[in-house]
Structure 1
Amino acid sequence: MTYSLIAITLGLAALAFFQLSKIGRRPKDYPPGPPTLPLIGNLHQMPGKNGHLQFQKWAQEYGPVYSLILGTKVMIVLSSDQSIKDLLDKRSNIYSSRPEMYLGQIVSGYLRVLLMEYGDTWRMIRKMIHNILNIKAAKSYVPYQDLENKQMLLGLLEQPELFVGHIRRYTNSLTTQMVFGFRTISIDDPKLIQLFHGFEKFCEVTATTTAALLDLFPILKVLPDFMLPLRAYSKELHKRERELYVGHWMNVKEKIKTGVAKPCFCVDLVKAQDVEGFSDALAGYISGSLLEAGSDTTAATLIGFVQAMVVFPGVQRKAQEEIDRVCGERYPTMDDERDLQYIRGCVKESMRWMPTDILGVPHAVIKDDEYMGYKIPKGAGVMWNVWAIHMDPKRHLNPRAFDPSRYANDFQTASEAASNSDASKRDHFVFGAGRRLCQGMHIAERSLFLGISRMLWAFNFEKARDEEGKEIIPDIDKLTEGLFVFPQPFPAKISPRSEKHARKIREEWASAQELLDEQKQWKEVPKGMVFSTYTPDIEAKH
């Protein structure tokens, strides 16, 4: 009996050792990748900062599809346009979920749409959002974009050193109108500041080594908060974030119920909540997710564009020549887009040159798959390596140069490019892929076109000078860290191209005042908006 017990114990120990010995190893049928160590795999090689550069280097070494073994988890990295088309687009039915991001979910209260797993709730939200972000709806929001753009230009004229704040107010106010029905009128608005600050901290938390360790070794989650200070910090971030998002929602919900709200997305959200019965917390995060998506990434792209104009003055001159030829002394409008192909190139190149989602937000595959002779296991994270594709010299010659002429013959919208059957014809990968493709891309493109064309029409962008009179050249490779990135702070000299241009900026904003009340809110919402047209699937609930 004793010998049998010893034998069983030794057998179990051997089995446990065998199972442990497999952790960290790369199975032979997986895509290639850097050498691994027992238990931790490639975890010791994961970069603490500038991760996009390391992932690009691995792509050059191991090819367009490689794997990273991260403890108990697997990350498949797609670094070519064709692999993204083949997997995330063509097989989107199994590649549209999300891997677990524990600390990101703590910050989000497990409610952020960006991190939500593929399922019924996500599909319900996507259907509702599509109703206000489709191409027909996007065209109806141009009056909002036009007004906010005019205020941004006035801000750049009067306080050019605060260009980041004016750009952020522009994108944020457009989004608060669409989602909640009110304008954000000041760059000092505390809720605007809180939104951008909170989203930056969310991105930073999700990119930390601690966040990765908790995802890869789930047993660490049992540690108390005093041993995991970043989790305690994440809980505090969630508390503040929830106050902002749910606060916005509850305010507008009360106005909708009492009949005093302006038309906005939340009118549809109230209808959906009445049928679906989801919580105010989820409603707050649905509307809040739209707010951060519409505010942050477009602003980051425009900030990157300003940096590009400072560093590449030849592009600025060529762009202004085109605008002057087509528009003369008047503001560019969306009607000019077809005649401003170089400016359209500036929009596309801004997103290629300074991609905000530099490594994408990972997808997850929900069942075993095979690609290029390799196994992709169920549950693996799938990263779309945006930086490596955008900076591939075979795809884009001299990729770190800002060159809008790359798109001289590309007349596609971002949506058309994303659905092009020829993967090599896609302009950029900022808007994602498959069923996770950004639904707001039509609006973002218009905001970027109006922002870029009118800033170039109105202003010259030059290098600032230090106290000794020397030019300060921004370092185009210095980016913030995190899930989404933008240029690290840099100075710029922004000045009106002439007194005539300055006078036009003031006149345009003065004439726009007729549309606004004493609180600088719209007196009447422009005609043609598509709000309040969403119909929840009532039959499916019975």
Structure 2
Amino acid sequence: MSILLEVVTAAGTYADLPTFLLAVCACLLTYLYLQRPRNLPPGPRGWPLVGNLPMLAKSDFYPATLTELSKQYGDVMTIWIGHVPSIVLSGYETIKTALVKRAEDFSNRKIPQIIANVRGDGTTKSAAKGVLHAAYGPEWKHQRKFALMTLRDFGVGKRSLEGKISEEANALVQEILSQNGHRFDLKVILQNSVCNIICSIVFGGRFEYGDPDFLRLIRLLNATVEKPSVGERLALINPVFRHLLLGKRPKGVEMLLALQEFCKEQIEDHRQTFDPSDIRDFIDAFLLEQQRPQDETARENFTDKQLQEVLIDLFMAGTETTATTIRWALLYMMVNPEIQEKVHQEIDSVLGQSPPSYAQRNLLPYTAATIAEVQRIKPIVPLGVPHAASRDTTLNGYNIPRETMIFVNLWSVHMDPELFPEPDSFRPERFLDQDGNFAKHEALIPFSIGHRICLGEQLAKMELFMLFVSLMQRFTFHLPEGAPKPSMVGKLGGIINVPFPFELCAVPRG
């Protein structure tokens, strides 16, 4: 502050505005530099104020860029988002150490404050509610435990859910049959199917694809995971940049508010017809929990606001991710017709025309290996949902200050040639043992690992297997005649690794 006063005095003395502004900028940069934490992990040099954002903006696919940088700077690396340091963890052993062996230190969450305010109780500096983005602690543990138990009660991981998935798989097949073998984009149809499975769990029933409420839900989900504009991204990083939006909220925030309103309406509809002796779905289970005798802390954990945010987490984490994985799987089938034929032969020999069951996955090892290889080569959330340090700590000898954002580079694990030889090649055989049985690989971690492993992992596995097998059982997929081979490089839509738009033809099998 004394330096700044001297500059102001000097400016007044010499009345030289350019010199004054230059001096102020120099003081500001010096101040920011002196505020930097000491002994941070090494990393690429950043620009003043914007840090490494220009470098990342030029990257075609920055999980791959960060993986290359880790070869120079190490598996614990610092990048600068604006003037704020973030840590990138790469390599299986480093990630396992942080998220599993040191879980208490690295299991917090860090999201932009504007999002935390919307997803919290609306107060300044409020913490996000729900499960996906909630701060690590007793409240989060309580909510996650309740959510997992309730999902299991409604069939996740059990045969009782298979009927709902089979119903949706049949609806999906009929939609594809209606295309009559013509070229079409499968994206929206797949989103509808996966979203409807979640609807059956949380709302107690599926929607017809043309239902206005369902179309509204899909539109809002799509909008909340769209890649924000440059101005919106800067506004999320630092409130100062919100002036670029002329004071407006980022579009993603507006869509999130609308999604909250949708869930609020569903909760109110359930409350009107709630019967404690007939628990129909996830919402009813939560409303029943609200009525149980509880202490003050428990009551605070089971508010309508909390339920609203948990519902949003279930939809946002479980719709686009699973649908996009299946899109990648079909894309790889089309460009690898010999692999598609092997999948067809295995399904035909084991199932024939019988509907698939999740329990049969061990009888379809090549098909299971194909799904695993899709998840390896195209991890849907390649940098995970950002973590944060729960407290001041160290890793590999470097200081990690409390609340520092941490990116977990799953891409670096799945593309590690020492773990997965020839990682750029699509080879389902890498997940088969010498006897042809499916062989798990501990470094295949598409759902992350540790305390923050994906809440919907079991649901996603069931959906992926049953929907993929149902599609491969009924159709042969190929590129439209004359169409160029689609790009096999993904792009990040928000945090999700999505393929560039492509069309396909689905030919019914005999």
Q: TM-score, normalised by structure 1?
A: 0.78
From the superposition, tell whether residues 192 and 396 of structure 1 become closer, same or farther in structure 2 (CA, over 3 Å): farther
Compute the displacement of 1:398 (Å).
3.0
CA–CA separation in structure 2 for the residues paired with 1:356 and 1:196: 19
Q: Does 1:199 find its partner at 2:221?
A: yes
- How far does the alpha carbon of each residue in 1:33-58 deviate from its partner, in whole angstroms, 9 at most, with x for none? 11234444334323266333322332
SS at match of 1:30: coil
Compute the displacement of 1:209 (Å).
4.0
SS at match of 2:109: coil
From the superposition, tell whether residues 155 and 44 of structure 1 become closer, same or farther in structure 2 (CA, over 3 Å): closer
* Equivalent AA in structure 1 for residue 286 of structure 2: L
Q: Does 1:348 find its partner at 2:372?
A: yes
Q: Which residue of 2 aligns with 1:444?
A: 460
* Equivalent AA in structure 2 for residue 199 of structure 1: L
CA–CA separation in structure 2 for the residues paired with 1:200 and 1:263: 27
* Equivalent AA in structure 2 for residue 266 of structure 1: I
Q: Which residue of 1 aligns with 2:267?
A: 249
Match of 2:411 among 387, 391, 398: 387
Alignment of 1:274-313 (within 5 A): 274=291, 275=294, 276-277=299-300, 278-313=302-337
From the superposition, tell whether residues 215 and 235 of structure 1 become closer, same or farther in structure 2 (CA, over 3 Å): closer
Match of 1:458 among 471, 474, 484: 474
CA–CA separation in structure 2 for the residues paired with 1:347 and 1:321: 16
CA–CA separation in structure 2 for the residues paired with 1:196 and 1:251: 19
From the superposition, tell whether residues 479 and 195 of structure 1 become closer, same or farther in structure 2 (CA, over 3 Å): farther
From the superposition, tell whether residues 411 and 359 of structure 1 become closer, same or farther in structure 2 (CA, over 3 Å): farther
Match of 1:495 among 465, 483, 507: 507
Match of 2:102 among 78, 82, 91: 91
Q: Does 1:31 find its partner at 2:48?
A: no
Match of 2:30 among 21, 24, 29: 21
Contact 1:102 1:214 survives alignment (8 Å): no
* Equivalent AA in structure 1 for residue 447 of structure 2: F
Contact 1:21 1:39 survives alignment (8 Å): no
Structure 2 stretches lacking a partner, 5+ long: 10-22, 121-127
- How far does the alpha carbon of each residue in 1:411-464 deviate from its partner, in whole angstroms, 9 at most, with x for none? 789xxx6xxxxxxx4253321222111122112111111112221121101111
Compute the displacement of 1:365 (Å).
0.3
Compute the displacement of 1:108 (Å).
4.3
* Equivalent AA in structure 1 for residue 266 of structure 2: H
Q: Does 1:399 find its partner at 2:423?
A: yes
CA–CA separation in structure 2 for the residues paired with 1:389 and 1:411: 23
CA–CA separation in structure 1 for the residues paired with 2:214 and 2:84: 37
CA–CA separation in structure 2 for the residues paired with 1:349 and 1:190: 37
Contact 1:249 1:287 survives alignment (8 Å): no
Q: Does 1:163 find its partner at 2:186?
A: yes
Q: Does 1:131 find its partner at 2:142?
A: no
SS at match of 1:454: helix
From the superposition, tell whether residues 486 and 235 of structure 1 become closer, same or farther in structure 2 (CA, over 3 Å): closer
Contact 2:380 2:497 survives alignment (8 Å): yes
Contact 1:24 1:70 survives alignment (8 Å): no
CA–CA separation in structure 1 for the residues paired with 2:107 and 2:43: 23
CA–CA separation in structure 2 for the residues paired with 1:244 and 1:394: 47
Q: Does 1:272 find its partner at 2:282?
A: no
Compute the displacement of 1:182 (Å).
1.0
SS at match of 1:66: strand
Q: Does 1:75 find its partner at 2:86?
A: yes
SS at match of 1:31: coil
Compute the displacement of 1:387 (Å).
2.2
From the superposition, tell whether residues 374 and 18 of structure 1 become closer, same or farther in structure 2 (CA, over 3 Å): farther
- How far does the alpha carbon of each residue in 1:100-141 deviate from its partner, in whole angstroms, 9 at most, with x for none? 323444664644532222234322211111103459852131
From the superposition, tell whether residues 169 and 310 of structure 1 become closer, same or farther in structure 2 (CA, over 3 Å): same
CA–CA separation in structure 1 for the residues paired with 2:315 and 2:268: 15
Q: Does 1:363 find its partner at 2:402?
A: no
| Higher mean C-alpha deviation, range 302-311 or range 49-58 | 49-58
From the superposition, tell whether residues 438 and 41 of structure 1 become closer, same or farther in structure 2 (CA, over 3 Å): same
Q: Does 1:378 find its partner at 2:402?
A: yes
CA–CA separation in structure 2 for the residues paired with 1:91 and 1:368: 13
Compute the displacement of 1:354 (Å).
2.2
Compute the displacement of 1:310 (Å).
1.1
Match of 1:428 among 444, 459, 473: 444
CA–CA separation in structure 1 for the residues paired with 2:28 and 2:3: 18
Structure 1 stretches lacking a partner, 5+ long: 418-424, 499-542
Contact 1:365 1:377 survives alignment (8 Å): yes
Contact 1:107 1:234 survives alignment (8 Å): no
CA–CA separation in structure 2 for the residues paired with 1:430 and 1:24: 37
Match of 1:176 among 182, 199, 204: 199
Q: Does 1:332 find its partner at 2:342?
A: no
Aligned length: 474
Compute the displacement of 1:208 (Å).
4.7
Instruction: Kindly report the root-mean-square deviation, in angstroms, between the aligned alpha carbons of the 2 structures.
Output: 3.3
SS at match of 1:69: strand
Q: Percent identity?
A: 26
Contact 2:432 2:438 survives alignment (8 Å): no
From the superposition, tell whether residues 104 and 114 of structure 1 become closer, same or farther in structure 2 (CA, over 3 Å): same
Q: Which residue of 2 aligns with 1:189?
A: 211
Contact 1:248 1:284 survives alignment (8 Å): no
CA–CA separation in structure 1 for the residues paired with 2:457 and 2:195: 15
CA–CA separation in structure 2 for the residues paired with 1:183 and 1:313: 34
Q: TM-score, normalised by structure 2?
A: 0.83
Contact 1:358 1:385 survives alignment (8 Å): yes
CA–CA separation in structure 2 for the residues paired with 1:174 and 1:216: 34
Q: Which residue of 2 aligns with 1:144?
A: 164
From the superposition, tell whether residues 180 and 471 of structure 1 become closer, same or farther in structure 2 (CA, over 3 Å): same
CA–CA separation in structure 1 for the residues paired with 2:437 and 2:230: 42
CA–CA separation in structure 1 for the residues paired with 2:480 and 2:385: 35
* Equivalent AA in structure 2 for residue 23 of structure 1: L
From the superposition, tell whether residues 400 and 184 of structure 1 become closer, same or farther in structure 2 (CA, over 3 Å): farther
CA–CA separation in structure 2 for the residues paired with 1:335 and 1:217: 49
Contact 1:64 1:83 survives alignment (8 Å): yes
